[in-house]
């Protein structure tokens, strides 16, 4: 099962959600594959030992130099990572927008899964281009983090319109889940944004929210996930609840330990 974490707005918690959902998976007895599809490479820098050469990153996969399997790096306490490189920014201009390139990641992952099926999380870049389309085409479920503020509602609307354009091409509905992040229960705005999101997207809005939490914010600078930093934090608890809800809804077909 593949989940792409996408929002074309930056700073909404895509990388944070990918990282901590990956760690939650591992703690539940399911070892994930993590893909960093953002040329900024934030997830790769949190890993801490991702190589700097483009030919050991996802860029080499797009150049047809290496298979996904060859690019996997072990990630202690999580699973495996296929890292990004800033050269990924060139994928749009070099490879165009034909069906072959748009389906490249899907085909690569399908091949990888024939020998090693596992939950796969794809951390996306904050814009719609070949890379984000690759993630959307490859995923079974699109997880859309929405930071709890009014501008994020516009971003959610933008994604919904993009998906409406893509679905006739894909000939299927893109399953999606909206996840409120950086939720602050003390602010009235938080409940207001949540209610507006529910009015618009109904059941596609996840029940659980990720609260604003200092341990979540600190852990990337320590090159670790929130569980390693502070397993008893509300941030750790929230990501465990997120995993549970995704499993209960059937978005991840796994058994939790």
Ligand X SMILES: Nc1ncnc2c1ncn2[C@@H]1O[C@H](COP(=O)(O)OP(=O)(O)O)[C@@H](O)[C@H]1O
Summarize as ranges the residues that interact with Mg ion (CB under 5 A).
14-15, 42
Question: Going residue by residue from 36 to 75, which x/- string records binding to ligand X, judged by CB under 6 A?
Answer: ------x---------------------------------
- 120: nearest Cα among 44, 30, 232: 30
Kindly list the distances between the CA atom of residue 205 and the CA atoms of 159, 168, 179, 189, in Å, as whole numbers in the listed order. 14, 23, 6, 17
Q: Please, is 149 exposed, middle or buried when counting C-beta atoms within 10 Å of its C-beta (0-12, 13-18, 19+)? A: middle
Residue closer to ligand X, measured from CB, 112 or 240: 240
Considering the rule CB under 6 A, would residue 89 count as an interface residue with ligand X?
Answer: no
**In 3-state terms, what secondary structure has residue 112?**
helix
Site map 2..21 versus ligand X, x via CB under 6 A: --------xxxxxxx-----
216 binds ligand X (CB under 6 A): yes
CB nearer to Mg ion: pick between 42 and 47:
42
User: Closer to Mg ion at the Cβ: 195 or 221?
Assistant: 221
| Number of residues binding to ligand X, judged by CB under 6 A | 18
Length of the chain: 257
Give the whole-angstrom CA distance, residue 30 versus residue 22.
Answer: 9
Q: Confirm or reject binding of residue 239 to ligand X (CB under 6 A).
A: no
**C-alpha 213: how far from chain center:** 19
Query: Is 75:32 a contact under the CB 8 Å cutoff?
Result: no
- Pick 112 or 215: Cβ nearer ligand X: 215
Residues that bind ligand X (CB under 6 A): 10-16, 42, 126, 181-182, 210, 212-213, 216-217, 220, 235
């Amino acid at each position: 099962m593949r989940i792409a974490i996408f929002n074309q707005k930056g700073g909404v918690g895509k990388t944070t959600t990918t990282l901590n959902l990956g760690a939650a998976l591992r703690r539940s007895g399911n070892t994930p594959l993590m893909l960093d599809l953002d040329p900024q490479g934030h997830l790769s820098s949190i890993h801490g030992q991702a190589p700097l050469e483009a030919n050991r990153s996802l860029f080499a996969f797009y150049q047809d130099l290496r298979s996904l399997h060859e690019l996997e790096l072990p990630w202690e306490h999580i699973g495996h990572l296929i890292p990004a490189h800033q050269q990924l920014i060139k994928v749009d201009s070099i490879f165009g927008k034909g069906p072959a390139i748009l389906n490249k990641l899907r085909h690569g992952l399908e091949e990888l899964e024939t020998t090693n099926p596992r939950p796969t999380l794809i951390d996306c870049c904050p814009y719609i281009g070949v890379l984000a389309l690759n993630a959307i085409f490859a995923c079974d479920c699109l997880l859309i983090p929405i930071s709890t503020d009014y501008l994020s509602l516009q971003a959610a609307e933008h994604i919904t319109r993009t998906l409406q354009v893509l679905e006739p091409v894909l000939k299927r509905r893109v399953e999606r889940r909206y996840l409120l992040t950086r939720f602050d229960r003390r602010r009235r705005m938080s409940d207001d944004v949540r209610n507006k999101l529910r009015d618009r997207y109904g059941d596609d809005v996840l029940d659980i929210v990720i609260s604003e939490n200092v341990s979540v914010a600190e852990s990337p600078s320590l090159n670790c996930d929130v569980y390693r930093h502070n397993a008893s934090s509300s941030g750790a608890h929230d990501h465990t609840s997120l995993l549970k809800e995704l499993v209960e809804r059937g978005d991840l077909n796994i058994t939790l330990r």
